[in-house]
């Protein structure tokens, strides 16, 4: 460059200051919430440099476009737009990984989380807390207006379960609102589970384990706040997400040995058995067909229901649609048929040893679940 090159700064541009805090905001259909959220954050932080990183799963309502429109006027906003992907936990992980500030926070876009407590959370982290959880239950805080009665009860139950799991007595381990120093995240990032809704719980469990193994303590702080009503749009919480969450808890109880997707796959397999028996009984009662016909029909019906349940629940993040759904269904039938061969041959082998009927049957079933899981992950839900 020679000295004649002049760079003109846009009017109002100020010297860039590295952000102290990155605020990660996962979004799905939050178009009408993002601009106001940024305004509230900017007001809260004043001259403290922060950045807002929105991770949007290509929302049909155009959230990403709305964020990018803001980004043109504010250097401290970024949008990570993920195409063809879904999932709250993985969105948070990617947003956190894309930031470099010494501290980061995760919060919802819908204004349910009170941004005004962020400076207090940051202060605690700067004073040495590894993870600061914004909590809806501690004295002074409240689950108040933003929570339905069933949702509150479910949340309490989940809180107890996770206390069991983490061994830490936290008032709100299911919070979607927390702040932490980035090294703590870097320690555990490789062991986090990509699926699910409860990223904080996963981070807590993993960080506890990591620190324990290294003989260090984990300092967790809590800052109470009042959970508000959602501003615009709808919640993405659903019964499916609750079942997925139970799968995550179980998976963590096996120290991740059994992946959540395997547990969900096995659960769906269990429902398939019920569907099979019901279909068999109905077919027999209604049409009195030869056994092999009713057995074949029952197998087809249960494989089909298993396929759709897995597509919704186990693989919600890579859900097949359109033509890929049909191809997937056919490959699922094919894999399950091979799975049946695996089942019968292994069961037969075990039965040959000491003629334990039920033991042989159970091992055969486990064999086919493992086989179907492993192979459909390669051929059906890639
Ligand atoms: N990128 C992305 N992908 N974002 C998502 C997805 C997704 O698949 N699903 C939800 N989000 C975003 C929403 O747009 C919102 O900003 C935030 O994640 C939380 O989603 P809500 O649908 O508003 O969840 P909620 O209010 O029912 O649940 C909240 O409370 C739970 C505690 O009961 C969340 O804070 C949870 O994280 C929290 O555990
Ligand atoms: Mn919400």
C-alpha closest to that of 83 among 60, 109, 106, 110: 60
This prediction has a pTM of: 0.77
Residue nearest to atom 13 of ligand 1 (CA): 27
Separation of CA 108 and ligand 1 centre (Å): 6
Please work out whether the CB of residue 155 comes within 6 Å of at least one atom of ligand 1: yes
Exposed e or buried b per residue across 49-80, where buried means at least 16 C-beta atoms within 10 angstroms of its C-beta: ebbbbbbbbebebebbebbbebbeeeebbbbb
Do residues 371 and 262 touch, judged by C-beta distance below 8 A?
no
**Residue 265 backbone phi and psi in degrees, to 5:** -60, -45
Residue nearest to atom 26 of ligand 1 (CA): 235
Separation of CA 173 and ligand 1 centre (Å): 15
11's tokens: 């009017």
Separation of CA 68 and ligand 1 centre (Å): 21
Q: Can you give the pLDDT of all 382 residues of the chain as single tens digits? A: 444 556 665 555 566 788 999 999 999 999 999 999 999 999 999 989 999 999 999 999 999 999 999 999 999 999 999 998 888 999 999 999 999 999 999 999 999 999 999 999 999 999 999 999 999 855 455 555 566 666 677 677 777 777 777 777 788 888 899 999 999 999 999 988 776 667 898 899 889 889 989 999 999 999 999 988 889 888 887 778 778 888 888 888 887 788 889 999 999 999 999 999 999 999 999 999 888 899 899 999 999 999 999 999 999 888 899 999 999 999 999 999 999 988 888 888 988 888 888 888 889 889 999 999 999 999 999 8
Please work out whether the CB of residue 87 comes within 6 Å of at least one atom of ligand 1: yes
Which of 236, 240, 246, 312 for mutating ligand 1's site (highest number of atoms within 8 Å of CB)?
A: 236
Please work out whether the CB of residue 109 comes within 6 Å of at least one atom of ligand 1: yes
**E-assigned strands of the chain?**
21-27, 50-56, 77-81, 103-106, 131-135, 178-181, 220-224
**Partners of 80 in the beta sheet?**
55
**Residue 192 backbone phi and psi in degrees, to 5:** -80, 150
Which ligand is closest in space to the CA of residue 238? 1
Which ligand is closest in space to the CA of residue 151? 1
Under DSSP, is residue 226 helix (H, G, I), strand (E, B) or coil?
A: strand
Separation of CA 109 and ligand 1 centre (Å): 8
Please identify, by atom number, the ligand 1 atom nearest to the C-alpha of residue 29: 14
Separation of CA 39 and ligand 1 centre (Å): 20
Separation of CA 50 and ligand 1 centre (Å): 22
Which of 24, 25, 26, 249 for mutating ligand 1's site (highest number of atoms within 8 Å of CB)?
A: 26
261's tokens: 């997707």
Please work out whether the CB of residue 172 comes within 6 Å of at least one atom of ligand 1: no
Separation of CA 131 and ligand 1 centre (Å): 20
Which of 108, 170, 196 for mutating ligand 1's site (highest number of atoms within 8 Å of CB)?
A: 108
Number of neighbouring beta carbons within 10 Å of residue 323: 8
| Dihedral angle over CA of 211, 214, 216, 219, nearest 10 | -10
């Amino acid at each position: 460059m020679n000295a004649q090159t002049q760079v003109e700064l846009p009017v109002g541009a100020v010297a860039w200051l590295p952000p102290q805090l990155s605020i990660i905001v996962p979004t799905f259909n939050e178009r009408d919430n993002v601009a106001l959220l940024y305004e509230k954050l900017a007001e809260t932080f004043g001259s403290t440099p922060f950045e807002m990183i929105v991770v949007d799963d290509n929302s049909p309502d155009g959230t990403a476009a709305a964020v990018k429109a803001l980004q043109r006027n504010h250097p401290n906003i970024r949008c990570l737009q993920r195409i063809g992907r879904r999932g709250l936990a993985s969105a948070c992980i990617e947003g956190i990984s894309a930031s470099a500030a010494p501290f980061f926070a995760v919060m919802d876009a819908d204004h349910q989380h009170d941004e005004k407590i962020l400076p207090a959370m940051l202060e605690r982290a700067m004073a040495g807390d590894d993870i600061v959880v914004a909590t809806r239950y501690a004295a002074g805080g409240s689950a108040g207006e933003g929570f339905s009665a069933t949702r509150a009860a479910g949340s309490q139950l989940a809180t107890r379960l996770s206390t069991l799991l983490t061994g830490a007595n936290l008032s709100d381990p299911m919070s979607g609102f927390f702040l932490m120093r980035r090294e703590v995240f870097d320690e555990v990032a490789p062991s986090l589970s990509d699926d699910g809704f409860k990223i904080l719980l996963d981070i807590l469990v993993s960080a506890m384990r990591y620190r324990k193994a290294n003989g260090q303590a984990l300092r967790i702080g809590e800052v109470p706040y009042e959970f508000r009503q959602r501003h615009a749009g709808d919640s993405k919480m659903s019964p499916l997400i609750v079942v997925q969450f139970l799968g995550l808890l179980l998976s963590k109880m096996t120290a991740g040995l059994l992946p959540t997707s395997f547990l969900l796959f096995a659960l769906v397999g269990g429902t398939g058995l019920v569907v099979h028996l019901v279909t068999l009984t109905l077919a027999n009662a209604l049409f009195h067909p030869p056994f092999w016909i009713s057995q074949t029909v029952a197998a087809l019906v249960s494989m089909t229901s298993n396929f759709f349940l897995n597509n919704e629940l186990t693989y919600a993040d890579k859900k097949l649609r359109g033509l890929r759904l049909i191809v997937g269904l056919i490959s699922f039938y094919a894999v399950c048929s091979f799975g049946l061969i695996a089942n019968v041959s292994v069961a037969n082998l075990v039965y040959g040893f000491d003629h334990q009927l039920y033991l042989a049957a159970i091992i055969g079933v486990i064999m086919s679940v493992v086989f179907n899981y492993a192979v459909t992950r390669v051929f059906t839900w890639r």
